[in-house]
Structure 1
Amino acid sequence: MDQDLTTEIASDQKYFSLFRRYCKPSCYSDEHYIPTFLRLKFLEKNSNRSLTWVDWSRGGPHPTRFMRTDVTVELLERMRSGRTCKYNGKTTNVCSLFARKFYPNTLDRLLRFAPKVMRFN
């Protein structure tokens, strides 16, 4: 986000007042207001994509938080495959570089399974 866009977001009164009035009880500026505002007002500056894989399948105002036992080879494979994306005008199957919402106790399993999924030792 550049300084001009930051200024636009900070000075917005029209959309933020609607956000505060209607987005209840569990709405968050960083996950709901800012992406919506950018889509409405600055579509050409919004890439409408992310390098971060997030699981919204369980519904609610927050993405899924993964616990230690959730981290499996199958989960990591699901994050890395099954879709194609554009990167610098070329098609690729590597769509996400990061993933969100893992509890700290998942690290050992992530480190153990990632080499199997990503095929490195």
Structure 2
Amino acid sequence: MDRQHGWDDRLARDAMAVLGDLALWEMAPPRWANVARILDRLDSALTAGDPVALREAVTDLEIAGPVRLTLIGARPVTGVSQPILELRNALVHRLTPDSPTAPTPEDDSADRQAR
């Protein structure tokens, strides 16, 4: 993770864990719409290099997951849709240390040298 922006390994692990779980979730469509909005916020936080917004989005995503209790008459649940899965996969790719788009320690030192 890019420590220049205040990100640390724990934040990266937390994000990767919840993104990994997301692929297995089954929820009603309105809950998936909320997940899509949170993933957009997570993507924006990564792009902006904002660790506070990233932490908030990860926390919100953890809370947005499926609930164990199903109410009588509740909407049927579905798995993750293709657009949400594609955004999730792109985020995982960006957060993976071996990814060419992931921030690296070299990027951090190059930024400092440019200043």
TM-score normalised to the size of structure 1? 0.25
Which of the pair has the greater relative contact order for Cα pairs under 8 Å at 6+ separation? 2
Greater strand proportion: 1
Greater helix proportion: 2
